[in-house]
Each structure stands twice: as structure tokens, then as C-alpha cells.
């Protein structure tokens, strides 16, 4: 174990150092000259009706068996996110810093309605949990750049497909660790990271444990290495390897290909796959899962029609750390369609209303159906034992409308309405999910 983690970063540093020993920075104008300061205001209303009444209890990340996730949850809050990014000092080696200040204010929720991961709560296992009227967090990172390679340490928001911080609630997730990213070549981007803690989307603690989204098992640290190679303007390939210490080793591959057609038409294809195997103490139990999806989309004028197929080959759920650490096509608003042995298909339609005289308005609808779920062969001593039976099924329908103001003093103000309906045979909850998100970004510096 103690050999694996340093080897990831050692490989990354060695590869970069071999090319950058005498290289200087590109386009470094100075610490202040290249700085930016942005403020994002977000107003978020969310309710979930689990259609069965009863308790509002939920697991560590809101993902537990249906028997623990029934009830009604409702919350309304306002958040403000201030992000500062400095430039780099001039010279062969440039230095800089990033900082953030995030705050949230409760507008409405109450005992019996708490949850959804929108606001922090005092006790996530009881219906009488309390929510603070306001909360906040500050943090930052120091960074160093040589040529087009950046080494950063502190609190940051990695976006790797095996470890990505999510931003699907009021405030974003933030992870603590070290990350190296390199863009020395136009066609190749590379990154490696070692992270030891993170701040969940409804937490104010920067040292929260690295818990998985489903099993609720904790990793001591997460390491990853990988990158993307742009073969051509139409084809790109991505590969990553990662390790969640004492949980699993995970490998990821992704390919995307687009074909421009005449008359504002195009075809695009993507293929994503994860291989997950237990490691060390195997705190989530035995894991041996291959999860993959394939997606095709046809765009014609303002319309886009997409079809996707997804398969989980394994007797446990596909699990991950960080809300955005899943690039499978059928991970949608409520469900990830990631149950043991599950097969799922999706059909989606997008419409850009600019062609109909309403620029800034986009509409989307999709339907996903999953079946062949069989969780009866899960490790009896593992986290997923008893979570799903045999021949389980479920489906989800999503509707979304988003409008972005195009000009004037309110330019870039956006309104986003999302509704999801999910129904299952019993292994997961029946739920109606409604969200209204209003955002207003401001560039201060």
C-alpha cells in the first residue's frame, strides 16, 4: 500500500521533469495581472416525495436501501460562491494561489422535511434533525507552474472521471490533496493526484472522510493518474487508473467520436467503461465489476436525439467517491442505473429554442429503463448484501427547461427547472423529484 501511492505521483513528476527541466512558463503576465475574482449567486429549491410516507432518514450520502429512504424532503436555500484565482509570478518557475469563500442561507425547511443533501443537518438519521440558519466555508490552495505544467496543493475541485467533485446542490464539493496537471502538448493532457479528505456538498468540514456514495465505506486516500489524447478534431481517447486505499482499484477508459454532416447535422458516439476490484481491507466487501455504456446522438438544426445503452457486469453496485465520479451515460437526475447486473437503455431529446425565436431557452426530456437486476449473489459480508433481489426493475423520466438571459443588466442570469419521476419494483424508492435553480454569475476582477 505504501508503495502504490508514491509511485503514482513519482511517475507523474518524473515524466514532467524530463521535459520541463529548462522550460519556462508560457504567457505569464504576473500574479495580479492574470488574477480573476468571480461571484456566483445560486438560489436552490428542491423537494423529493418518496411516495410512501414514513421516516425521512437517509444514509451518509443519501444513498441507502428503500426502507431507509422513504418520506418527504423539502428545502429552499440561497448560496454565494466567491472564487479567486491568481496568476503566476514571472520567471522559469511561477507561483500563485487560489482561494474561495462559500456561504449558504436557509430560506425554508423544517423537522420532518430535512435532507436531499442541500443543507447541512445535525443528525442525518432522524426525522427531527436540525438545520443551521446559515453556514459557510473558506479555503484555498497554493500552486506552482513550470511551462504548461501546474502542481497544486490544498483544497481544490478535481474533475477526473475516477475522482470528481460534484456541484449538483447548493455549494460544490471540495477535496484536499495534491494534484499535478500538464498540457505540454496540444493533443495530450495529463494529470495525477493524491487526496486525503473532502468537503461534501452538505458539509462545512474540510476534513470529512472519503466515503463512497452508495456503500458509505471510507477510503484512507484516493490516488489517480491519467489523461486525454486528442487523436483528431473528431476523435479523443481518455484513460485513468485510480486506487481508493483499503477499498478498491479502478480503471477507466473513454472514447468519443463525432462526424460532422452537411446542413447543421452531426453524429456523435461515446463509449465509457470502468473496471473495479476490491483492494486491501476491502471495506465495502468483495468487488469485481465491469461497468460500461455506449451512447449515440444525432443533431439536426435545433434538435438532438440521443440513445444510450448501459450494463453493469458484476454482483455489486457500481460505487464511487465524489458526486461527479461517474461518466456512465445513464447516470441521470435521480438514479445512476448502476445496480448489480443491471441493463439499462435511454432515449433523450434536446431542443434549442433559439431557432424558434427564443434565444437562451433550451428544453430536454429523457426516459431510462433498467432491468435484469440481480443482487442476490453479492458478498454476504459486504456493504451491498441484501440491497437488491432478483429480476428487479425500475425506470426514470426527466424533464428540464433552462433559460439564460442573453443581454442587458441581467445578462447570464439563468433559470433552470428540473423534474424527475422514478419508479421501481422495490429495491429502490419511488420518488418525484423537483428542483428550481436560479444562478447569477458576476465577474468582479
What confidence score (pLDDT) does residue 384 get? 95
What confidence score (pLDDT) does residue 132 get? 87
Q: Which residue has the higher pLDDT, 120 or 13?
A: 120
Domains belonging to the chain, first-starting first, are: 4-443 (2.40.160.10)
pLDDT at 362 over 70: yes
Share of residues in the chain with pLDDT > 90 (%): 78
| pLDDT category of residue 57 using cuts at 50, 70 and 90 | very low
What confidence score (pLDDT) does residue 23 get? 52
Q: Over the chain, what HEC string results?
A: CCCHHHHHHHHHHHHHHHHHCCCCCCCCCCCCCCCEEEEEEEEEEEEEECCCCCCCCCCCCCCCCHHHCCCEEEEEEEEEEEEEECCCCCCCEEEEEEEEEEEEEEEECCCCCCCCCCCCCCCCCCCCCCCCCEEEEEEEEEEEEECCEEEEEEEECCEECCEECCCCCCCCCEEEEEEEEEEEECCEEEEEEEEEEEECCCCCCCCECEECCCCCCEECCEEEEEEEEECCCCEEEEEEEEEECCCEEEEEEEEEEEEEECCCEEEEEEEEEEEEEECCCCCCCCCEEEEEEEEEEEEECCEEEEEEEEEEECCCCCCCCCCCCCCCCCCCCCCCCCCCCCEEEEEEEEEEHHHHCCCCEEEEEEEEEEEEEECCCCCCCCCCCCCCCEEEEEEEEEEEEEEECCCCCCCCCEEEEEEEEEEECCCCCCEEEEEEEEEEEEECC
- Residue-wise pLDDT for 16-42, tens only, equals 444 544 456 667 788 999 999 999 999
pTM: 0.89
What confidence score (pLDDT) does residue 58 get? 42
| pLDDT category of residue 111 using cuts at 50, 70 and 90 | low
What confidence score (pLDDT) does residue 409 get? 93
What confidence score (pLDDT) does residue 267 get? 98
Average pLDDT over residues 275-293: 97
| pLDDT category of residue 271 using cuts at 50, 70 and 90 | very high
What confidence score (pLDDT) does residue 27 get? 72
Amino acid at each position: 500500500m505504501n508503495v502504490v501511492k508514491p509511485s503514482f505521483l513519482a511517475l507523474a513528476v518524473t515524466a514532467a521533469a524530463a521535459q520541463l527541466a529548462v522550460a519556462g512558463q508560457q504567457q505569464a503576465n504576473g500574479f495580479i495581472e492574470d488574477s480573476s475574482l468571480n461571484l456566483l449567486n445560486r438560489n436552490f429549491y428542491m423537494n423529493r416525495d418518496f411516495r410512501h410516507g414514513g421516516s425521512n432518514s437517509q444514509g451518509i450520502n443519501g444513498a441507502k436501501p428503500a426502507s431507509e429512504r422513504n418520506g418527504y424532503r423539502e428545502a429552499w436555500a440561497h448560496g454565494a460562491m466567491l472564487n479567486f484565482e491568481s496568476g503566476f509570478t514571472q520567471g522559469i518557475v511561477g507561483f500563485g494561489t487560489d482561494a474561495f469563500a462559500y456561504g449558504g442561507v436557509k430560506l425554508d425547511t423544517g423537522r420532518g422535511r430535512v435532507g436531499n443533501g442541500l443543507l447541512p443537518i445535525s443528525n442525518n438519521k432522524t426525522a427531527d434533525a436540525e438545520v443551521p440558519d446559515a453556514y459557510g466555508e473558506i479555503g484555498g490552495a497554493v500552486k506552482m507552474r513550470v511551462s504548461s505544467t501546474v502542481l497544486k496543493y490544498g483544497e481544490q475541485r478535481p474533475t477526473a472521471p475516477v475522482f470528481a467533485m460534484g456541484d449538483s446542490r447548493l455549494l460544490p464539493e471540495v477535496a484536499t490533496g495534491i494534484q499535478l496537471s500538464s498540457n505540454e502538448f496540444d493533443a495530450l493532457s495529463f494529470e495525477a493526484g493524491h487526496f486525503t479528505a473532502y468537503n461534501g456538498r452538505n458539509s462545512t468540514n474540510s476534513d470529512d472522510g472519503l466515503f463512497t456514495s452508495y456503500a458509505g465505506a471510507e477510503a484512507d486516500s484516493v490516488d489517480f493518474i491519467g489523461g486525454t489524447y486528442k487523436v483528431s478534431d473528431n476523435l479523443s481517447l481518455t484513460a485513468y487508473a485510480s486506487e481508493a486505499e483499503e477499498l478498491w482499484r479502478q480503471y477507466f477508459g473513454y472514447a468519443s467520436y463525432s462526424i460532422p454532416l452537411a446542413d447543421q447535422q452531426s453524429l456523435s458516439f461515446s463509449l465509457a467503461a470502468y473496471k473495479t476490484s476490491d483492494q486491501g481491507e476491502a471495506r465495502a466487501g468483495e468487488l469485481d465489476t465491469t461497468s460500461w455504456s455506449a451512447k449515440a446522438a444525432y443533431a439536426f438544426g435545433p434538435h438532438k436525439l440521443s440513445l444510450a445503452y448501459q450494463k453493469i457486469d458484476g454482483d455489486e453496485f457500481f460505487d464511487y467517491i465524489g458526486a461527479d465520479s461517474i461518466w456512465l451515460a445513464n447516470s441521470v437526475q435521480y438514479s445512476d442505473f448502476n445496480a448489480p447486473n443491471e441493463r439499462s437503455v435511454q432515449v433523450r431529446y434536446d431542443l434549442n429554442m433559439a431557432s424558434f425565436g427564443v434565444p437562451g431557452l433550451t428544453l430536454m426530456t429523457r426516459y431510462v429503463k433498467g432491468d435484469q437486476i440481480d443482487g442476490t449473489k453479492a458478498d454476504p459480508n459486504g456493504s451491498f448484501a441484501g440491497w437488491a433481489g432478483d429480476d428487479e426493475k425500475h425506470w426514470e423520466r426527466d424533464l428540464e427547461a433552462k433559460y439564460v438571459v442573453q443581454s442587458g443588466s441581467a445578462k447570464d442570469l439563468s433559470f433552470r427547472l428540473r423534474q424527475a419521476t422514478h419508479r421501481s419494483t422495490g429495491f429502490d424508492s419511488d420518488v418525484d423529484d423537483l428542483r428550481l435553480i436560479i444562478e447569477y454569475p458576476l465577474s468582479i476582477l
